[in-house]
A and B are shown apart, each in its own frame.
Chain A
């Protein structure tokens, strides 16, 4: 038995769920961005080339998504999804590279830090490229879900 709502308070609305999904996506993007900055600026691990490409697709979402949150505009998914998808593809490539499924000859990084090098590893299998892949996968799922929920 819920108390009667005040007239100004929101009734459950499809856009409520969509807002939360986009907000969750922003949380993931911002955590991933701060995490990446922690690795490079605080722990001073040099980012490899593929990391930079993933950063290019991740960092803008930190600023872009809130533009669609206040006030809520479901179209933000249209603008965010291409970035999230592109970053996801790069992250898949790097995960395959680290796993050794992509052969030596087509590795794109010959100078600086090799992108197949694992600099941080937790529990024996969690490394930075895997974290990036998980973040991009979650963000794509959240954005697609937000798109489906906000459809009239």
Chain B
């Protein structure tokens, strides 16, 4: 008897005799551990492969449809000659959009004159298209950015648990110097509807299904996240203003 099998026998004395720990040459334990490792490896490599494929597909899609990103009709903010251009697809009722808006403003303030922001509207929440109409209508009075900031700031009063109460958004626009009667009168104009349709069509073409979605100089975020956005903006700033 080899020394090895002697050792095996010693460890096997503990369990019940009808439950031998060996089966067909490899021990049950190593079979189990190998299976756990194989399954986890398959999952992790599958997940990494899938997400990198997805990021690349998004990049290709954005590169192919670059001219759709910021159409001339989009509201634009900041230095028109800035070499870094952020295009943001947003929904006024989206909480993450409201949170990220402050961070984007801070990025712009930290790099004065170097970043331009354009917004596109994707009202994914039911009822939020009413608020988009209000914002679009405020543009005619040159108050779009003030209105957007106010709507985001008061968001928790007109969006509760992802449910939009469009009428409650009106008080947010008070005190901005807007003629609210005119906003109401003009918000159903045909050109506003056409712009909203254009935004929706471009979002579909670019594969934007969630908000906020950012494109920095035509490049989508590799993965959604504030740090990813800040890193992408830093990278573009570096290559534009070396």
Binding site for B on A (CB under 8 A): 6-11, 13, 15-16, 19-20, 23, 26-27, 30-31, 34, 37-38, 41-43, 66, 69-72
Contacts and interface: CB of A to CB of B under 8 A. Distances in A.
A37 B32 contact: no
B43 A38 contact: yes
Given A38-B46, A70-B28, A71-B15, A9 B39 contact: no
User: How many of chain B's residues touch chain A, expressed as a range?
Assistant: 20 to 34
Interface string B33-58: 00110011011001100110000000
B11 to A, nearest CB: 9
A10 B39 contact: no
B170 to A, nearest CB: 29
Most chain B beta-carbon neighbours within 10 Å: one of A6, A11, A20: A6
B1 interface: yes
Contacts of A8: 5-6, 8-9, 12, 22
Interface string B9-28: 10010011011111100001
Contacts of B2: 6
B64 interface: no
B28 A69 contact: yes
Given A10-B21, A70-B28, 11 more contacts: A6-B8, A8-B6, A9-B5, A19-B28, A23-B31, A26-B35, A34-B39, A34-B42, A42-B51, A69-B32, A72-B28
Contacts of A42: 46-47, 50-51
B29 interface: yes
B21 to A, nearest CB: 8
Closest A-B pairs by Cβ, 5 of them? A8-B9, A10-B20, A6-B5, A72-B19, A71-B15
B35 A38 contact: no
Contacts of A16: 20, 23
B32 A19 contact: no
B155 to A, nearest CB: 23
Given A13-B20, A23-B31, A69-B28, A37 B43 contact: yes
Nearest to A152: B18
Contacts of B5: 6-9
B22 A9 contact: yes
A144 B51 CA distance: 39
A135 B203 CA distance: 38
Contacts of A71: 15-16, 19, 21
B12 to A, nearest CB: 6
Nearest to A150: B18
Interface in B110-130: none
Contact of B32 (A10, A13, A23, A34): A23
A51 B50 CA distance: 22
A9 B22 CA distance: 6
Nearest to B25: A9
